[in-house]
Amino acid sequence: MASKTRSVAAKRNVGMKSYAFGENRSISIARDIVTISDSGEKAKSIELTARRFATLVFYLNDVEENLRKLCAGEIVNFRQHIGGAWYLSVSTGFKCMDIRQFYQPLFGFEEKPTKTGFAIRLPEWIAFAAAVRQLVRENEQLADIHLCGDQHMTLDDALACRECNPFPHPQGVMYNSAGV
């Protein structure tokens, strides 16, 4: 069984380009999957589709602005949907930018974070942003990715899209985070 796992992993890593942004931390791309990983003591990684990664890139300046506010001592509560059940967030009390998968409780409207995610700590932010920008520059297939929301011609199309609307509500009614 182990050899089967290794051979699948080896096939996925063919043609992979990797960019370091901290001790034991890197961002890489293989085909249309971007992986952010930490190979340190508590090794972990997340994988984003190229479209979700392109959305992350689109919001990098907003993340940087909110990190500046956080460092200046301002109250920050930034959360941005990047596709599927994945969100970016910067919040007072956490000195990082978090990329995390969310779920919606059975009896509730507000999405909740799962344990699946990756935090980019403040000291790593500049190197991470530089690695992301280098990865985009050196991988031309990322330039052709369109954000999912740009593809929908009508509100009904957007509501039916699980990438844009991963947590559908009864009768297609959209609610804000307060349930209103």
The pair of three-digit structure tokens given for residue 164, joined into one six-digit string:
């844009």
Burial class (CB in 10 A: 0-12, 13-18, 19+), 177: exposed
Reduced to 3 states (helix: H, G, I; strand: E, B; else coil), residue 143 is helix
> Residue 118: what pLDDT?
92
> Residue 67: what pLDDT?
94
Gap between the Cα atoms of 81 and 99, Å rounded? 10
φ/ψ (deg, to 5) at 116: -80, 110
For 69, half-sphere exposure in the C-beta direction (CA atoms, 13 angstrom radius) is 16
- Please report, for the chain, the start and end positions of each structural domain, with discontinuous segments joined by +: 24-145
CATH number for the region 24-145 comes to 2.30.31.10
Side chain identity, residue 46: I
> Residue 169: what pLDDT?
60
> Residue 149: what pLDDT?
64
The pair of three-digit structure tokens given for residue 58, joined into one six-digit string:
């689109």
φ/ψ (deg, to 5) at 101: -85, 140
Q: How far is CA 14 from CA 7, 9, 30, 39, 170, in A?
A: 11, 9, 7, 19, 44
> Residue 63: what pLDDT?
94
> Are the C-beta atoms of 29 and 45 separated by less than 8 Å?
no
> Residue 128: what pLDDT?
92
The one-digit pLDDT tens for each residue of the chain (180 residues) are: 443 333 333 334 445 678 888 888 888 888 778 888 888 888 888 888 888 888 898 899 999 999 999 999 999 999 998 888 899 999 999 989 999 998 888 877 788 899 999 999 988 999 999 999 888 888 877 777 766 666 767 777 666 676 766 776 654 444 444 444
pTM of structure: 0.75
The pair of three-digit structure tokens given for residue 153, joined into one six-digit string:
């011609």
